[in-house]
Amino acid sequence: MNSFSPNMLKTFEACPKKYYFKYIQKISVPQKSSMFEKGKKVHALANYYLRGDDLTKMEKTLDSEEKLIWEQLKQNEFFQKSCVNSEYNLSCKIGNYWIGGRLDALMKDEISYYILDYKTGSVPKNAEYDYQTMVYLLCTAKLLQNQTRKQVQSDECNIKFVYIDLKNNHNLIIDFTPEKEKKYEEKIIEICNKITNVRFQEEIEHSQICEFCEYRKICI
């Protein structure tokens, strides 16, 4: 049985050949990025913080920019809600496919559940239909439906996806509705079908995205 993460779906959509290198051949190419390191640090801090650990020593290792980002996250209204779980592995079955991944955090208040995603880089352009948004919302909806042990409609669950854009100190909030649930399921099944039935080609037309691809050296 195949299982797909949001990154796998995004990679395939961007370039099937890249998917082939990364997930079939399992060739990993290290990426140099200070933003990536910053993101990792903030994610680790957030996880310890939500677990209630003492962060005094860790906070001392932050540079001024990291400190600013971290303070912004601590002050964020969604980050201050009640934590259900952080660094939370979730999966669910859509059609014949298992999808899943690791949420930064799941929070709640009296009204809603909130899936949080901390972004130190850029927020997805079409966030509403980004695979991360779709996969995490569907998995959380299924989890909550199972927990209540009855068939609950997604609007009764009242779930929102919140991208916390730490670069611009802004929240991008995406509502989950029964219409969206249906559309998300269709989109997920469509791309999973494509991945399952694809025939990877040796020869491929190169495009602009190749310029920034980490597999460029072995592909072109």
* Contact positions vs ligand SF4 (CB under 6 A): 15, 17-18, 21, 204, 206, 209-210, 213, 215-216, 219-220
Question: Residue 55 or 219: which CB sits closer to ligand SF4?
Answer: 219
Q: What is the largest CA-CA distance in the chain?
A: 54
Q: What are phi and psi of 165, to 5 degrees?
A: -85, 100
What's the alpha-carbon Rg for the chain, to the nearest Å?
Answer: 19
Residue 115 C-beta: closest distance to ligand SF4, Å: 29
**Which DSSP symbol is given to 210?**
G
Task: Give the Cα separation of 155 and 168 in Å (integer).
Answer: 30
Q: Is residue 91 within 8 Å of residue 135, measured between CB atoms? A: no
Q: Closer to ligand SF4 at the Cβ: 10 or 216?
A: 216
Other CB atoms within 10 Å distance of the CB of residue 47: 15
* DSSP alpha helix (H) spans, 23-130: 34-51, 56-60, 64-75
Query: Minimum distance from CB of 219 to ligand SF4 (Å)?
Result: 3
Q: How far is the CB of 198 from ligand SF4 (least distance, A)?
A: 13
When the beta carbons of 44 and 220 are compared against ligand SF4, the nearer one is 220
Choose between 17 and 81: whose C-beta lies nearer to ligand SF4. Answer: 17
Least spacing, CB of residue 119 vs ligand SF4, in Å: 23
